[in-house]
Structure 1
Amino acid sequence: MFFTPSQHDVRRFFCETYRKTTDNVILTPLEAIARDWIVQHPEYAPDFENVEEAIARDYSVENGQTNPFLHLSMHLSIAEQISIDQPPGIRAAFQNLARRLDSEHEAHHRIMECLGQMLWKSQRTNSPPDAAEYIESINRIGS
């Protein structure tokens, strides 16, 4: 069974995690990981303060807006991939890139570009994501 939260579910999750963090409430393990990324992106704090506004807001690429919910979701996905080394080799590729950049956060951002490209290509060609190509692209930017 797949976990497929809606856009509203994702936005509620981050807003609730933000609220619990600011109220110093105990977090679930997933919320604790999300909190760590929320803290590293203080520029997004206003986006998390009102759940209804967050749900209604349209983050348009055409207007040059970064979607903080998508951005943090990608951080969570990459953190999970690294923690379980899936796809195989992601952990080593991440560690090499983080060492080269002297920043785990910046390494995540570079990996996001590779992840986005892989997903875009998969959707465009209507084929499964190519994990080997994904790892290869991370290794290329890490060398």
Structure 2
Amino acid sequence: MLAAWRFFGEKGALDLCRAALRAVDYARLHDARLPGGRIVREGIRYYVPVEIKGKPVPAGVFDKDPSIGIKLASSPLGGPNEFLTLPLYLAAREPALDPESRKIARDLGALLLQAHRHGGEGQWNKWTFLIPGGPVPPRNP
């Protein structure tokens, strides 16, 4: 979405980027107990409901339901969550995003990067290798 905004000026793409950041933040969990007793200090749910029968519900609505429970990827911050690392860092540096969206991106990006570094791949992970060290250049006119 950021590419569509940066290179084509598509404002709707920026709205989708904001929505995606809030969705990932909504799916985040802290100090959750999984079936079997394992505690997950930090994680991102693999999927979460946002509405049931047209009514908003909290992200953890099924967490304690033994037939559903918390759904994580292959690890609480790994697997498909790794794909988010570089886009989160790019979003954190996007001046067109509001401060709240940039903060969400920065915090989640740092959390995922920390998980990658502890996982042994560190900076050589393909999703962290290209994280920019400075601000992203301005959008093309």
Provide the TM-score with structure 1 as the length reference: 0.28
Say which structure is richer in strand.
2
Structure with bigger helix share is: 1
**Bigger relative CO (Cα 8 Å, ≥ 6 apart):** 2
